[in-house]
Amino acid sequence: MAGREWNPLRRLLALPNESRAKTILVAFLVSAVCAALVSGATVLLRPIQAANRAAEEQARIAALVEGIPGMAALLEQSGGTLSTVVIDLDRSRAATEVTPATLDAALGDPGNWTALDPAQDLAGLGHRPNFAQIYLLRDGDDVSLVLLPLSGQGYGGRIDAILALKGDMNTVAGIAITGHSETPGLGGRIQEASWRSSFPGTELRDEGGDMRFRVARGPASDVHEVDGITGATRTGRGVTQMVRFWLGPDGYGPLLGAIDRGEF
């Protein structure tokens, strides 16, 4: 009479293939081995996956910004690493509870908008969002370019734009008009490259820190002005007020000060 087999693996293998116990145990062992392999692969691949996600995010941001007319060449000239961040405008710093992915949902909440009184409301918005997504181009630790979304009322309706500022947070690098309802051939010329070409090099504030930017009624006469558009005075005034509001104390002004001081 053969002695009893004490090796559990051999005892398992000796069971009939139709045995329920054998089926369950084999399935458990296969699952355990697969889980261990997957866990090990996850640990080994995690740095590669993180790098791939970062590269994908960088490509997504670049594609989004370069889709704005006139910005691709500007980014190429400036160099550096492009990133995006949602700003808490009340605190003039990066938002902790809102991300680019959740920004639209956050702005769907009326509680995330601030009512503006007439003295504040230079841009004619009525309400200002508490959060805004901006883009930063960094060269090492320094911000070399910042892209800021703007909106305000023109003659025909709302004007939307992206304003690019150089690293001194005072010199305009360029502007893109992303939406408007101005009269074709008149105010609608704000979308033309010939008008937008007067923006680069314009300085927003004077040496005393006072906001001086404006769209002139005719050709620009100093470093704080851009060319006006004949027959579109109200459109020019709308652009002036839009820029002054958003780069002032109720818009990005405090944030730009923090960036200029190296605090952001």
Would you give per-residue pLDDT tens digits along the chain (264 residues)?
Answer: 455 556 666 666 676 766 777 677 777 778 888 877 777 766 665 555 544 544 554 455 555 455 555 566 666 666 667 788 999 999 989 999 999 889 999 999 999 999 999 999 999 999 999 999 998 888 778 888 899 999 999 999 999 998 989 889 999 988 888 889 999 989 999 988 889 889 999 999 999 999 999 999 999 999 999 999 999 999 999 999 999 999 999 999 999 998 888 887
Partners of 134 in the beta sheet?
85
Partners of 214 in the beta sheet?
225
Q: State which amino acid sits at residue 10.
A: R
> Where are the chain's structural domains?
8-57, 69-260
User: For the whole prediction, is pTM greater than 0.75?
Assistant: no
146 neighbors 153 (Cβ within 8 angstroms): no
Partners of 192 in the beta sheet?
none
Give the Å distances, CA to CA, from 256 to 23, 87, 103.
67, 11, 21
Partners of 128 in the beta sheet?
114
d(CA 138, CA 72): 16
Q: At which residue do the structure tokens 């839009």 appear?
A: 242
Give 251's DSSP letter: T
133 neighbors 143 (Cβ within 8 angstroms): no
